[in-house]
Structure 1
Amino acid sequence: TPVGETVNVALFRNGKKKNVSVTVAKLEEDEVTGEMGQESLLGLTVQQLTPELAQSLKIKDKEGVIVANVEPGSAAEEAGLRPGDLILEVNRQEVKNLEEYNNALESLDKKESILLLVKRDRHTRFVVLEPKQ
């Protein structure tokens, strides 16, 4: 899809289908998450929570990162993470944006379990990810 074009996207929120209009933009280098190795180990991709994204997902929070994709069979899927989940902390370290999320991941031992504070709908809970070896 060309940059600047508006497309309709269907997503599920609270078990209900919702259609949103999205304008395609160029992906900037700093908007890509973590190292490839970390993504593969955890099996999730995240994106910055923007005011527009928060509004379209009906999220009142202004800080954190949104789970954009979860790989089938990954540590993230086994822990129950889903696209649309809001990650607020990594190993009890607050993550307000994509940069803080990436910094938190870089400081981790890639063989250790990872504790995430995740908000879905109005419920906040801790989730443990066991990295795949």
Structure 2
Amino acid sequence: MSIHSKSFEEPDERRTPDKTTVDVVKLPGATVARITFQPGWRWSECIKPVVGGESCQIRHVGTLLSGELEVVHDDGAKARVTPGIAYVIEPGHDAWVVGDQPAVSLEFESQAAEAYAKR
């Protein structure tokens, strides 16, 4: 078969740390995640207790579908991610939801999709 598709409504895996839902679909040669961050979510408060470390060590490649995220890298770089923005966020950062709407992203980096928020 030359076309493969799966629905995020029936993911292969779902992870639900505090204020977070990670829906993972596995396709031939790629793993993709839809991550929903609820208002009040912050990596250092919601994910750090699950994975440990001082900052997120996952490389993120994706796009934000809704909501807003603020990202601060360990080197001091800052960015606001808004809907329609494609991003690469290198390891070594904290992030949080801005405002009172959930932030929903699609992650295309297979390693991130497979490992994010996983013990």
TM-score > 0.5, shorter chain as reference: no
Shorter chain as denominator, the TM-score bin is under 0.3
What TM-score do the two structures reach when normalised by structure 2? Answer: 0.25
What TM-score do the two structures reach when normalised by structure 1? Answer: 0.23
The structure whose residues are more often helix, as a share, is 1
Higher relative contact order (CA 8 A, sep 6+): 2
Q: Which has the larger radius of gyration?
A: 1
